[in-house]
Amino acid sequence: MAEVEEVTEGCNLPVLRRNQEKEDEWPLAEILSVKDISGRKLFYVHYIDFNKRLDEWVTHDRLDLKKIQFPKKEAKTPTKNGLPGSRPSSPERDVRKTLDLQPATPSSGKTLPIPVQITLRFNLSKEREAVPGSPDQPLSSSSCVQPNHRSTNGSARRAVAAQPGRKRKSNCLGTDEDSQDSSDGIPSAPRMTGSLVSDRSHDDIVTRMKNIECIELGRHRLKPWYFSPYPQELTALPVVYLCEFCLKYVKSLKCLQRHLMKCDLRHPPGNEIYRKGTISFFEIDGRKNKSYSQNLCLLAKCFLDHKTLYYDTDPFLFYVMTEYDSKGFHIVGYFSKEKESTEDYNVACILTLPPYQRRGYGKLLIEFSYELSKVEGKTGTPEKPLSDLGLLSYRSYWSQTILEILMNLKLENGERPQITINEISEITSIKKEDVISTLQYLNLINYYKGQYILTLSEDIVDGHERAMLKRILHIKHK
């Protein structure tokens, strides 16, 4: 068995993870840093295959030294065409994987009750090319589709042979929802770049570790999940204090009290563009209110892993959602968007602060972003990659919004109702690719008697109705 002194950065070993909801477990973890405080060693660990927000400092008694794996010496990376740092190509990398729909075949001889069937019409040539499962266009792969997942009526998806001469433009990450249009009209893999996407290749040991212990924002104390580039002198403090109205950071409670005597803000700077009850939205220009926008980005980075924006806020608009009481307008969450986006992005970063999560505010932020797109007469999509929580929120919002439209369709001359992908996109302002990926995720598209239909099973209808009963926050239209 190894000794505690032998545990260094880069070692992998099981670490006791305390779980309030379940029994304690021993997942494999990587040692990212070691420090000595008054003769007591502490180890910063990242639980492999767990989200980085769970990383923490642990003592030696939580390490299983019997199963330690010491770091291996790095082998030289093979080269391609004699260029250092590039890996040789692999046939698997060049294969474009696609999915196709099989005609529905009963799996057990039983027919499930189908209360709603909607014909998926193809009245535009461009739309037909992008719709999954059309005879001349294979269904594009996306992160939310499982190759062997069966739909409610027994139809299955299967992998088909790769098309020669086509290569994937980028690798599909697990946090991405939809695919983008490529130049040849075939949806390609999700785009991994954007205005706020951090370059993961430059991650170092510093940015992999949480550097702020605690943040006090108004009446809340927040435990950051990720690294945020606050000034170095703040990282050694037990608590960083923020003014909840201008988001200025100070190093002590006394400094905050002095600041509050001079700060005359009681709401985010900018224009209030929406109010319903105690909920308000403020639009902030990143160029006109640079200090506030930068402070907002520093705070948001504590809870967002994939996006990065700290100082160059000029090209962005920020929409801050607040809750009003007698003391002022308190920040609940926000989203940012580029003033001019060539890729139809209507959201760059989106965040609901931890004290307000699981209360419907995330969907309200998403709904507001699409209402802005409707006002602009455009369809929109969030910038990739989405965080894990962001992906869940978007999937849920897309599903509920699209199902609400499908369930409200009426019979036409006694026949099943009809709708197109473009019509759904125009009604909701959700980009066509996101509509398609959502229908795939819900397993709604089926081939039946020579037609492509959207099949709403009883389980889907019941689940949607229960979800809509719980969702009480909506954007009110004038």
Could you list the active site residues? 383
Integer Cα distance of 115 and 416 in angstroms: 11
CA distance readout (Å), 105 to 153, 193, 378, 442: 8, 41, 39, 18
Containing 218, the helix (H) or strand (E) segment is none
Q: Are 224 and 304 in contact (CB under 8 A)?
A: no
DSSP, residue by residue, 96-126: --EEEEPPP--SSS-----SEEEEE---SHH
Backbone angles phi, psi at 316, to 5 degrees: -120, 150
Q: Are 319 and 336 in contact (CB under 8 A)?
A: yes
The phi-psi region of residue 210 (left if phi > 0; otherwise alpha if psi is between -120 and 50; otherwise beta) is: beta
Integer Cα distance of 187 and 173 in angstroms: 15
Residue entry with tokens 């660990």: 45
CA distance readout (Å), 10 to 7, 68, 69, 70, 280: 9, 11, 9, 7, 47
Q: Are 278 and 322 in contact (CB under 8 A)?
A: no
Backbone angles phi, psi at 459, to 5 degrees: -65, -45
For residue 279, what are the contacts with CB-CB under 8 A and spacing of at least 6? Answer: 321, 322, 323, 324, 332, 364, 473
